[in-house]
């Protein structure tokens, strides 16, 4: 049965791989194997992969840089499609970026072209596709501040559609793309303003220094585990519960930042989930506040 499926899939996707450890594709360095794994280097590749999954009744999952993701220890019994179309270019007054473009590359490009508006994204390790879906942000700014248009593929009918800013329904770490799993982000137009190169560079440095000082960047993680509740910092609430430094298995709530869980080497998803549940329970008991995950589960 398994052999038959792989033969069928290989006809459409010759480069498909099997049993690929997802820990190698997440910044947490955690996660069991994907039964099938395919890298889409073009939009056409992506469509082929979705068609192949549908034909074989396989669920599929879209992966960017895996920097906001906790993959379970058993892995994923379907097709993981990693988006690696990542062209970006300046187009009149906006930046055009394909979904797999790294935020770091967009920050670099905007600095080189003396464009301001993306400095806050320096140090966020994901793709623009992942950033738009979760409306990534930092330092009181978010990707929704600079989005002009998003090109989307509807995986239900394989039709392309353009979403203007108001169609994206951005909220705090939220968007229509998070609510509707059939919408896959293909590319985006980002509007920036002309700025002063030295000022842009200065801001980027300041933000990167802040991250180095306040975040545990020497261990694998998925960034902030929880969204900040209204008028509160999730990290501070966790810290006030005395949980900083709490360790389960090989995972630990960072001593540097209460909203980061770090992988000390060989952590299992189960260890992280146990720390997440403990944090939620203690914060609920002490402050009557329900923490909600920012990280996504697979
Ligand atoms: C050290 C560190 C610091 C971080 N700092 C920040 C921060 O300051 N602010 C912040 O907001 N985040 C931060 N993050 C989290 C993360 O980097 C961002 O949320 C990032 O935008 C996620 O992008 P990704 O490509 O890694 O997405 P992934 O983790 O690959 O995917 C996340 C979700 O998006 C979906 N997805 C990915 N690409 C697409 C697409 N093209 N179309 C539709 N769905 C898609 C996936 O299916 C998944 O559900 C940090 C992470 C780390 C490790």
The CATH number of 2-83 is 3.30.43.10
* Packing angle, helices 43-55 and 2-12, rounded to 10: 150
Residue 76 sits at φ, ψ, to 5 deg, of: -130, 125
Which of 67, 155, 224, 279 is labelled catalytic?
224
Sheet containing strand 261-263, edge to edge, reads 247-248, 251-253, 261-263
Q: Same fold for the domain at 2-83 and the one at 216-297?
A: no
pLDDT tens figures, 46-93: 999 999 999 999 999 999 999 999 999 999 999 999 999 999 999 877
Of 110, 108, 135, the C-alpha closest to 123 is 108
Cα of 1 to ligand 1 centre, how many Å?
Answer: 35
Q: Is residue 206 pLDDT above 90, yes or no?
A: yes
Q: Is residue 189 pLDDT above 80, yes or no?
A: yes
Q: Is residue 178 pLDDT above 90, yes or no?
A: yes
Q: Is residue 172 pLDDT above 80, yes or no?
A: yes
pLDDT tens figures, 112-152: 999 999 999 999 999 999 999 999 999 999 999 999 999 99
pLDDT tens figures, 254-290: 999 999 999 999 999 999 999 999 999 999 999 999 9
Pocket residues for ligand 1 (CB within 6 Å)?
27, 61-69, 83, 99, 124-127, 129-131, 133-134, 136-138, 177, 184-185, 215, 217, 221-223, 296
- Over residues 106-114, the mean pLDDT reads 95
Closest CA to ligand 1's atom 35: 130
Q: Ligand 1: which of 72, 136, 225, 257 to mutate, most ligand atoms within 8 Å of CB?
A: 136
Average of per-residue pLDDT values in the chain: 96
Distance CA 289, CA 236 (A): 13
Domain definitions of the chain by residue range: 2-83, 88-213, 216-297
- Over residues 198-206, the mean pLDDT reads 98
Cα of 69 to ligand 1 centre, how many Å?
Answer: 7
Question: What's the pLDDT score for residue 81?
Answer: 98
- CA geometry: angle 42, 43, 45, nearest 5 deg: 65
Q: Cα 170 to the chain's mean position, in Å? A: 16
DSSP strand pairing (60-63 vs 76-83): parallel
Q: Ligand 1: which of 71, 105, 125, 213 to mutate, most ligand atoms within 8 Å of CB?
A: 125
Distance CA 93, CA 107 (A): 15
Q: Is residue 1 pLDDT above 70, yes or no?
A: no
Residue 269, CB-side half-sphere exposure with 13 Å CA sphere: 20
CATH topology for 216-297 is 3.90.78
Distance CA 174, CA 44 (A): 27
* 3-state SS record for the chain: CHHHHHHHHHHHCCCCEEEEEHHHHCCCCCCCEEEEEEEECCHHHHHHHHHHHHHCCCCEEEECCCCCEECCCCCEEEEEEEECCCCEEEECCEEEEECCCEHHHHHHHHHHCCEECCHHHCCCCCEHHHHHHCCCEECCEEHHHCEEEEEEEECCCCEEEEEEHHHHCCECCECHHHHCCCEEEEEEEEECEECCHHHHHHHHHHHHHHHHHHCCCCCCCCCECECCCCCCCHHHHHHHCCCCCCEECCEEECCCCCCEEEECCCCCHHHHHHHHHHHHHHHHHHHCCCCCECCEEC
Q: Is residue 191 pLDDT above 90, yes or no?
A: yes
- Over residues 222-245, the mean pLDDT reads 96
Question: What's the pLDDT score for residue 91?
Answer: 85
CATH topology for 88-213 is 3.30.465
pLDDT band at 3 (very low <50, low <70, confident <90, very high): confident
* Token pair belonging to 30: 């955690």
pLDDT band at 24 (very low <50, low <70, confident <90, very high): very high
Q: Is 114 a catalytic residue?
A: no
pLDDT band at 4 (very low <50, low <70, confident <90, very high): confident
Q: Is residue 44 pLDDT above 70, yes or no?
A: yes
- Over residues 25-32, the mean pLDDT reads 98
Q: How many CB atoms lie within 10 A of CB 86?
A: 17
pLDDT band at 10 (very low <50, low <70, confident <90, very high): very high
- Over residues 26-47, the mean pLDDT reads 97
List all residues 6 or more positions away from 105 whose beta carbon is below 8 Å from its beta carbon: 86, 88
- Over residues 95-124, the mean pLDDT reads 96
Q: Does the pTM exceed 0.75?
A: yes
Q: Is residue 183 pLDDT above 70, yes or no?
A: yes
> Residues of the chain with pLDDT > 90: what percent?
97
Distance CA 117, CA 106 (A): 11
Closest CA to ligand 1's atom 12: 136
- Over residues 202-227, the mean pLDDT reads 97
Place of tokens 């990707």: 143
């Amino acid at each position: 049965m398994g052999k038959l499926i792989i033969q069928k899939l290989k006809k459409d996707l010759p480069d498909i791989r099997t049993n690929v450890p997802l820990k190698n594709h997440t910044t947490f360095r955690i996660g069991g194997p994907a039964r099938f794994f395919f890298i889409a280097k073009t939009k056409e590749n992506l469509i082929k992969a979705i068609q192949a999954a549908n034909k074989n009744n396989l669920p599929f999952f879209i992966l960017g840089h895996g920097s906001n993701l906790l993959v379970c220890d058993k892995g994923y019994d379907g097709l993981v499609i990693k988006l690696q179309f990542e062209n970006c270019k300046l187009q009149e007054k906006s930046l055009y970026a394909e979904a797999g473009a790294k935020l770091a590359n967009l920050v670099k490009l905007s600095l080189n072209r003396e464009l301001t508006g993306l400095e806050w994204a320096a140090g966020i390790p994901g793709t623009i596709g992942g950033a738009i879906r979760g409306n990534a942000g930092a330092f009181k700014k978010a990707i929704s501040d600079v989005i002009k248009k998003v090109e989307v593929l509807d995986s239900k009918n394989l039709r392309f559609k353009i979403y203007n800013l108001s169609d994206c329904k951005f909220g705090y770490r939220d968007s229509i793309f998070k609510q509707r799993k059939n919408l896959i982000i293909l590319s985006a137009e980002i509007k920036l303003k002309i700025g002063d190169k030295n000022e842009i560079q200065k801001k980027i440095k300041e933000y990167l220094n802040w991250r180095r000082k306040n975040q545990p960047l020497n261990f694998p993680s998925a960034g902030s585990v929880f969204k900040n509740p209204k008028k509160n910092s999730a990290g501070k609430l966790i810290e006030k519960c005395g949980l900083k430094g709490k360790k389960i298995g090989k995972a630990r709530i960072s001593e540097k930042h209460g909203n980061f869980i770090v992988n000390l080497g060989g952590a299992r998803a189960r260890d992280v989930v146990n720390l997440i549940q403990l944090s939620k329970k203690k914060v609920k008991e002490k402050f009557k506040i329900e923490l909600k995950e920012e990280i996504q589960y697979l």
